[in-house]
Chain A
């Protein structure tokens, strides 16, 4: 087990180096640069800026400098927000995104999984149809529509809930719904199909033949098997939830990480783009690792290690 973890950690670092390298070169392959704007700056200013941020160095040198920074956790200064570093931006934005993502994940697990189970056990009854309709809506309607609609109805028309910021529990309701909508629906459907499949298995018949009550058959014998694919989906999903959604943060005016990520792309803010990408990749890889470890506990057939 210990050996396995060490091996995995090494491979995670290699993956991150690849992600960082590919992003770096792709980013530089895209035409334009951080200091190009509609209002043309004087040539001398651009040159001075390029010199200041070492953008006039050959690409390989920039790359090596940058990778050195990554390994020392110094992600560099932002080109566009003068005086702030990428580390500052992540430290400022991530807590908001993470809090929001945490509650969204909670909603997905606490509502999506039970909805899927009920839907499977009552298949082709009204409960199933209700869940299926809601899930289809959840998958089909994009988060900005949910968010905008939410603000229109509950903030603007009814005036029940605030429309921006993240200061009280009331502020969370809208963003959490908008953020979790798709995944919640997806998890409900995934759980439904997985439970339906497991309930057809021979060992469920064996459990029934032992005279176990249906609730034990479902909770003990079916769920542990049925949740394996759901856990697979949850890992990377949690990473995506917690590193922030540009759309939801924009709509509800939340100062999270998503905003910086998307803005950095259009403004060629190289260091911010790199930093947020690497941060997201690291988070995602870690969650996949956690899921793999969790497998070992859920399913004894999966042996970690040699």
Chain B
């Protein structure tokens, strides 16, 4: 049995805005094993980023964790004080963000921004921290790190800045790295490089990774297990190959159908999912996807489905798998390459 590094239990996060309570995350449970890479997939507003910000306890007013527990190495992060969280953040759990162009402070050098975390969390001198910063830049593949360490962010390209962000995140050897859309703001070629780097670093420094993205292609490459989120809930969870080849939830199928594919030739049209995500100020009573689901039944609109586990570790929240549900010919969106 592998050790669970993170276990989130029934976490609910809301933003109390003046128009009402936005229930961004409405009861999410998942776990992450040591050394594992977990992908959280979903479209904008599905609650994936809020989930990660909740785990980090980085929610800003008016967001709060309403309910639930977040066990990190056996300790509940929700119960920790602000000061205790500070020694976890950046030290044991680190995070990289979507836009490397704006995520680094423009008025301090790259080295300064790496050293800052190291000096904060580890008993090292300034000179040692600087050495560490140079080592980290080397690790993430920045050429001539000895001189680059004194550069300012505007002297780095987008891809290099994201590498620098990764260097900051990994500088204290965290147990968990949360990457929130780390490639979304980058060119496709740079995306591939950054993903390659993440995969490589996962092996080298042995951190567990949560990779948050709206791009199924990104998780396919890096993650062994995937969570699909929608409307603040987990719709489906399973190993990467389960999700890609035997999807259970109609939402996952919809996502798969909307990925462009090279192997199908130019005649294949992309199939978008009609409609838009639910309003989380007034979340629907039943399944959040029911309004857009081609297989929706009466019960889907009335009651939120529970999880149906089709095989160990692969489950979906969908009434289609209830024993009384009619059998459908499901268009799963799975297209295996023949040959």
Using a CB–CB distance below 8 Å, which chain A residues touch chain B?
201-203, 205-213, 220-221, 224-225, 298-301
Contact = CB atoms under 8 A, between A and B. Distances in A.
A221 B117 CA distance: 13
Contact of A202 (B58, B91, B103, B120): B103
Contacts of A212: 86, 90, 116-117, 120
B107 A211 contact: no
Contacts of A224: 107
B18 to A, nearest CB: 11
Nearest to B95: A209
B116 A205 contact: no
Interface string B105-125: 111100001001100110000
A210 B97 contact: no
B89 A210 contact: yes
Interface in B251-267: none
B168 interface: yes
A221 B58 contact: no
B165 A206 contact: yes
B150 to A, nearest CB: 11
Contact of B106 (A205, A207, A225): A225
Contacts of B103: 202-203, 205-206
Contacts of A207: 105
A208 B87 CA distance: 11
Given A208-B58, A212-B116, A299-B107, 17 more contacts: A202-B99, A205-B97, A205-B103, A206-B103, A208-B89, A209-B58, A209-B94, A210-B94, A210-B116, A210-B117, A211-B88, A211-B120, A299-B106, A300-B106, A300-B107, A301-B106, A301-B152
Contacts of B121: 211
Nearest to A301: B154
A298 B107 CA distance: 7
Interface of B: 56, 58, 85-91, 94-95, 97, 99, 102-108, 113, 116-117, 120-121, 152, 154, 165, 168
Contacts of B85: 211
Given A202-B102, A301-B154, A209 B107 contact: no
Given A211-B88, A300-B152, A206 B105 contact: yes
Q: Is the interface of A mostly helix, strand, loop or mixed?
A: helix
Interface centre among A221, A300, A301 (most CB of B within 10 A): A300
Given A212-B116, A225-B106, A225-B107, A205 B58 contact: yes
A298 B88 CA distance: 31
A221 B104 CA distance: 10
A203 B58 contact: no
Closest 10 A-B residue pairs measured CB to CB? A211-B90, A211-B89, A210-B90, A202-B102, A203-B105, A210-B117, A300-B152, A202-B103, A209-B95, A211-B86
B88 A203 contact: no
Nearest to A225: B107
A209 B56 contact: yes
Contacts of A210: 89-90, 94, 116-117, 120, 168
B283 to A, nearest CB: 26
A296 to B, nearest CB: 12
Interface centre among B85, B104, B116, B154 (most CB of A within 10 A): B116
A203 B104 contact: yes
Contacts of A211: 85-91, 117, 120-121
B148 to A, nearest CB: 14
Contacts of B120: 210-212
B152 to A, nearest CB: 4
A63 to B, nearest CB: 47
A6 B87 CA distance: 50
A212 to B, nearest CB: 6
18 contacts: A202-B97, A203-B104, A203-B105, A203-B106, A205-B58, A206-B97, A206-B105, A206-B113, A209-B90, A209-B94, A210-B89, A210-B117, A210-B168, A211-B120, A212-B116, A212-B117, A221-B105, A300-B154
A165 B256 CA distance: 82
A212 B87 CA distance: 9
Nearest to B152: A300
Nearest to A208: B58
A201 B90 CA distance: 18
Contacts of A201: 102
Interface centre among B87, B97, B105 (most CB of A within 10 A): B105
Contacts of A298: 107
